[in-house]
């Protein structure tokens, strides 16, 4: 009797494939405008970058992505037009060539782009209708001028430069976020685990030749080859 495929197990929603969000420190974002004092730095297993716990004017606390170069006790400004490391400004007030991170997708959503450790984007051009930003992938994206972003580079750079050396360290890293690892192809599994599994022949897996009477939408792969296998 066969087993459920990995994608079928994940779709069920069991705790084995569910992220432990109850252990995360909290949600990060760009919160209320005004001054905010950096109270402490927080390490969260859900984020690759260190987080800054900031205290607002009304004595409330929130979490922000920490940039490189800030310290405990530093005062950050959310809103305004002061171009300073760690401050949050609207894209229309940020000059061209400035490094930014934690960019909002829509005005007021708290930040959706460029949040990983060591990442930064660059403002390329500004017009009254749009602002063009170059993302870390070198792709250029257009944002609304009222979208906000933080000035600087995300802290925690160089994370990817340190090798894992062995599979056990990679296992514990992926386990912290409960991410599926390692990813195994179906052809490398046994026949009981996947339809493509088994190694009874030199060519593992199942043939991808479309059936003779397949409908047009199923005519994928090796479509009606004249001959398969070795020529006799």
183 in any annotated domain:
no
In angstroms, how far apart are the furthest CA atoms of the chain?
Answer: 84
Q: How far is it, in rounded angstroms, from Cα 125 to Cα 2?
A: 57
| 85 within a domain of the structure (yes/no) | yes
Specify the pLDDT at position 230: 67
Share of the chain above pLDDT 90, in %: 61
Q: Is the pLDDT of residue 197 over 70?
A: yes
Whichever domain contains 114, its CATH number is: 2.30.30.30
pLDDT range class, residue 179, cuts 50, 70, 90: confident
Collapse the DSSP code of 132 into the 3-class scheme (helix H, G, I; strand E, B; otherwise coil) and give the result.
Answer: strand
| Containing structural domain, residue 57 | 22-160
78 torsion bin: left (phi>0), alpha (psi -120 to 50), beta (else): beta
pLDDT band per the 50, 70, 90 thresholds, residue 47: very high
127 within domain boundaries:
yes
| Number of domain units in the chain | 1
Domain assignment of residue 73, yes or no: yes
- This prediction has a pTM of 0.78
59 occurs within a structural domain:
yes
């Amino acid at each position: 009797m066969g087993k459920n495929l990995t994608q079928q197990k994940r779709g069920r929603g069991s705790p084995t494939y569910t992220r432990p969000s109850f252990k995360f420190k909290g949600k990060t974002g760009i919160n209320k405008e005004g001054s905010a004092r950096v109270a402490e730095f927080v390490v969260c297993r859900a984020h690759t970058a260190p987080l800054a716990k900031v205290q607002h004017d009304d004595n409330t606390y929130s979490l922000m992505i920490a940039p490189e170069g800030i310290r405990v006790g530093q005062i950050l400004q959310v809103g305004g037009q002061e171009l300073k490391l760690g401050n949050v400004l609207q894209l229309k007030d940020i000059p061209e060539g400035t490094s930014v991170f934690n960019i909002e997708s829509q005005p007021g959503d708290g930040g959706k782009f460029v949040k990983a450790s060591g990442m930064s984007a660059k403002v390329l051009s500004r017009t009254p209708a749009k602002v063009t930003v170059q993302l870390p992938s070198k792709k250029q994206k257009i944002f609304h001028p009222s979208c906000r972003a933080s000035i600087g580079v995300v802290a925690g750079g160089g994370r990817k430069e340190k090798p894992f050396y062995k599979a056990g360290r990679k296992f514990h890293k992926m386990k912290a976020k409960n991410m599926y690892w390692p990813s195994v192809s179906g052809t490398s599994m046994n026949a009981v685990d996947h339809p493509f599994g088994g190694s009874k022949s030199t060519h593992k897996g199942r043939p991808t030749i479309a059936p003779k009477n397949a409908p047009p939408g199923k005519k994928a792969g090796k479509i009606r080859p004249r001959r398969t296998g070795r020529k006799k």
